[in-house]
Amino acid sequence: MDEKQARLTIEQLRSELERHNYLYYVLDRPEVSDAVYDGLMRRLQELEALYPQLVTPDSPTQRVGGAPLSSFAPVRHRTPMMSLANVFNNGELQAFHQRVCRALGTSTVEYVAEVKIDGLGVSLTYEAGILTRAATRGDGEVGEDVTANIRTIRSVPLRLRFPITCEVRGEVFMRKAEFARLNASREESGEPVFANPRNASAGSLRQLNPQVTASRPLDIFLYHLGFLAENTLPDVLSLPTTHWQALTFLREIGLPVNKHSRLCSDMTEVETFCKHWQEQRNTLDFEIDGAVIKVNDLAAHETLGMTAKSPRWATAFKFPAQQATSVIRRIHVNVGRTGAVTPLAEFDPVQLAGTTVSRASLHNEQYIKQKDIRIGDTVVVQKAGDIIPEVVEILPHLRPPDSQPFVMPAHCPACGTELAHLDAEVVLRCVNRACPAQVVEGIVHFASRDAMDIAGLGPAVAQQLVDAGLVHNPADLYQLSSEQLVKLERMGEKSAQNLVQAINDSKTRGLARLLYGLGIRHVGEGTARDLAEYFRSVDKLSEATLDDLLAVPDVGLNTAESVRQYFTRPENLALIRRLRELGVVLEMEEKLELGQALAGKRFVVTGTLEQFSRKEAEEAIRAQGGAVSGSVSRNTDYVVAGEKPGSKLTKAQSLGITILNEDEFRRLLQSGRSDDE
């Protein structure tokens, strides 16, 4: 291939990748599987490596690059990024409405209501459709230049669908599940945990090294068109005259916009919107702290103007914080699979974010000392990111007079080994790799749904297997017999046979799941997939140098060093050898790419399926181009219902959505057509 052919192919690949990004992040309607997308990206990377003179700043391969910054340059905003005034109840909301009506000389006003994402405000500038600058809100007048870091966020288009010049504003945030995984990884590594997704987002975006930002799971929604050069507007687009049109405009030019918004004809509809999301906020996979109410007519914005601090045409309806008070009855320590010893507080059960919680991690000894947490203390408890229970503060005036500070144990409660701080970590660790508590946690992780997915092998069974001396590492699982298992407590003959079968079935889960299941430090589910795709076998991965590992997209120095260290330990190499001897697949299976028969179709999987795990069913849908959602809406095409489907099935029936049982689902996967078509 000569340079001319390479240039044409590169342009085609970039265009195709940009189209798939738009389908995925903006329309939420992916047409290809992750494997297909990754294949296109790898081909582009290979061609750009051969022809570096053809690399451009807006190429999808250039999201992470450049040396760490020494500081952030100041950026003066074209127009101020003002904060919103807050209202806290319907009475204050009505007062806002009356002020708007008086200023506009009318009794009827159309509004747009949007959920208020709890993240970090940013502005993005595009010139001729190319992202040229990104800045934080700062003090509203002057922010910080975070262009290099914003470029690492996959949902931010480096090039718009049209060559227009504009400035847009939005919110950088972190989804709840990603926040939980990030904090779990940091805690395991002995790093300080983030208090909530907003802090995690802000800390990640303000990293001086863009590669650190790239390793964090940031996302973005845009919600405001701040400036538009009308002479760059193409004929196919119209200049927005309302905020509702502006949101549509942002989507049309390729920017991700939150779909949870509503055009409201009056304040009654606004109040209904606020009430709905105050009650349903926990159903979203990102954190919100209220709703934003904006006058729809953009000309009215000019009439209403600004106060010294905020616009008069918008307000924020703030939801009450979800906190509760309880009394700590006990503090004990838990030993994790990497030896990290974590103190846990047990308190009187309270309702938080829709669930009952009775314990929370206290992270480490330093955390306990800083907050001076003691047994018997009355504490304020909340769910960080509406997911992870945490102790926010103590109420010292309610402390019992005989309370004593908590002291971390000097020895591991599971094996008696002296605990130590490694590499100046805050966290205490048990350094005995044969510690039974670590072995149990390692087996539970290996068998978990996202790893080897061994049904029936939960914490209680894992504990019994280790206590009985039957299992010392994951390879031992593949030599268990039903005769051995039936001797365990509450393990009948049928259950024993099922568990043996589940263990045997897990041999073919694939390399990515195995790598995740091995529990290599810093290797989460996504990184395991990346390593499997790149190296294709455990043998090649085990022989990889540090430079080889750093060549894998999104693998940083800490992860690379951890992987390299894992494969230098004799006991780990022995484990790999035994797994191979016992028939566990240690290579990527070469598969023909499936068709895209389900492209454009949206699925929700609910209930328990007999022949699929939930994850397997969702992967099968994505492999054929379908999209998977966690909630049922009018946009859902099919609901796959197993045993005990719950409220999702009821909602699907009320909306007239096609319901598939497991047999119908299998036939759909095979043919691409449901029985009703």
Alpha-carbon 413 to chain mean position: 33
Pairing verdict, β 627-628 and 602-606: parallel
Element (H, E) at 300: helix 298-304
Nearest alpha carbon to residue 122 among 170, 73, 160, 75: 170
Start-end of H helices in 115-266 = 147-150, 176-188, 197-205, 210-214, 243-252
Alpha-carbon gap, residue 184 to 188, rounded angstroms: 6
3-class DSSP assignment, residue 428: strand
Q: What is the dihedral of CA 620, 626, 628, 633, to 10 degrees?
A: -140
Nearest alpha carbon to residue 582 among 591, 594, 574, 592: 574
- 203 by Cβ neighbours in 10 Å (0-12 / 13-18 / 19+) ranks as middle
Task: Note if 591 is an active site residue.
Answer: no
Name the β-bridge partners of 111: 264, 295
State the DSSP string of 54-72.
Answer: G--TTSGGGSS-SPPPSSP
CB contact at 8 A, 314 and 295: yes
Alpha-carbon gap, residue 599 to 624, rounded angstroms: 7
Start-end of H helices in 544-613 = 546-550, 557-566, 570-581
Q: How many CB atoms lie within 10 A of CB 636?
A: 20
Alpha-carbon gap, residue 474 to 451, rounded angstroms: 12
Start-end of H helices in 536-641 = 538-542, 546-550, 557-566, 570-581, 614-623
Alpha-carbon gap, residue 591 to 69, rounded angstroms: 43
Query: Of the residues 116, 176, 294, 318, which is catalytic?
Result: 116
Element (H, E) at 525: helix 525-535
Nearest alpha carbon to residue 241 among 299, 285, 290: 299
State the DSSP string of 318-370.
Answer: EPPP-EEEEEEEEEEEEE-TTSEEEEEEEEEEEEETTEEEEEEE--SHHHHHH
Alpha-carbon gap, residue 606 to 577, rounded angstroms: 38
Name residues whose C-beta falls within 8 Å of residue 315's C-beta, 6 or more positions apart in sequence: 84, 85, 86, 87, 93, 96, 292, 293
Element (H, E) at 389: strand 388-394
Q: How many CB atoms lie within 10 A of CB 330?
A: 11
The backbone torsions φ and ψ at residue 657, rounded to the nearest 5 degrees and listed phi first, read: -80, 145
3-class DSSP assignment, residue 117: strand
Q: Indicate which residues carry an active-site annotation.
A: 116
